[in-house]
Amino acid sequence: MTASVPWRLSSDGAMLRAGSLECRVDPTHLSSGIQDILYQGHRLESHRLLSLKIPGLEGAVTGPTVAESYTRGEDFIVTYQAVSPLQFHPQVYWQYRQKSVACGIETMISMQTDVLESRPVVEVTAVHPGEVWHYDESQDAFEPFVGATSDVYSADEVTPVFLTRENGRPYSLLEMAYPTDAHELLLESVGPDEVAVTFRLMHENLERGVIRRLRVATWFLPREDDLQIAAELFRDLLQAEPPLTT
């Protein structure tokens, strides 16, 4: 964990500068994900990471929709006014994380509603160049992904954990979702040697008075020992507190 405050508010969101990672988050354009990414001196121009699609916030968000935004410790937090016909009250946390030689951003999406029962499906997408590896829980190890790269998988079929390696780069990227949050995974070929991974989160009904917290994360890893480090990070996620409060 870094001793300094990593986030700095700006006119277009918040800038993160911590260790070897720099990036920007614009809470009025959630589908853009984290932007202007610089890791270990490398500009990640062909990546799109932590792109969010939340009911009622799919496009550009007007100023009044953002109720408040602030930093707290290693978090950048944005609360939105009630959106969509079902009156969801979203709150999004972008949380800087660091463990040994790895660093990352964990995004927690907090959903609450005033209606008796609803089902707000949240989607999180990442676009990566390079080869794709998938975590096999039964083996507690990563294996090259050999499934179709344009298909939908249930969370029972495929664990929501993927690692990608871009040729010629000294780092790897890890994308993962809290297992009980994801109900479907979509893999799509979106260009030459480029894959989009989408986690579809929250398949159960959201009841009035319950706050449901959904967790996804992007980690930046050095290429050396990346598979071992990625497996350790997933085990850490499994040990996190259940993302549900009232």
* Tens digit of each residue's pLDDT (9 = 90 or more) over 28-53: 999 999 999 999 999 998 888 999 99
Does residue 141 or residue 63 have the better pLDDT? 141
Q: What are phi and psi for residue 157, nearest 5 degrees?
A: -85, -40
Q: What is the 3-state secondary structure (H, E, C) of 189-228?
A: EEECCEEEEEEEECCCCEECCCEEEEEEEEEEEECCCHHH
pLDDT tens across 137-162, in order?
Answer: 888 889 998 766 778 998 888 899 99
Among residues 197, 179, 25, the alpha carbon closest in space to that of 96 is found at 25
Counting residues of the chain whose pLDDT is more than 90, the rounded percentage is 52
Please give the model's pTM, rounded to 2 decimal places.
0.89
Average pLDDT, the chain: 86
CA dist., res. 52 & res. 142, Å (int): 26
- Choice between 115 and 67, residue whose per-residue pLDDT is larger: 67
pLDDT greater than 70 at residue 239: yes
Which of 12-21, 199-208, 215-224, 225-234 has the least mean pLDDT? 199-208
75-100 pLDDT tens trace: 999 999 887 766 778 899 999 999 98
> What DSSP state is assigned to residue 41?
T
pLDDT at 157: 87
pLDDT of amino acid 1: 43
Q: Is 15 helix (H, G, I), strand (E, B) or coil?
A: strand
Distance of CA 148 to the CA centre of its chain: 22
Torsion of CA 37, 40, 44, 47, to 10 degrees: -90
What is the fold of 7-245? Beta-galactosidase; Chain A, domain 5 (2.70.98)
Tokens of 208: 């009035």
Of 160, 133, 173, the closest CA to residue 214 belongs to 160
Whether the CB-CB separation of 65 and 52 falls below 8 Å is answered with no
Residue with tokens 């990036």: 23
The pLDDT tens digits of the residues spanning 195-218 come to 899 999 976 677 677 778 899 999
Structural tokens at position 220: 């930046």
Please state the domain extents for the chain.
7-245
Residues 6+ apart with CB under 8 A from 124: 50, 51, 52, 53, 107, 177, 198, 199, 201, 216
Helices assigned H by DSSP within the chain: 226-238
Say how far apart CA 51 and CA 196 lie, in whole Å. 11
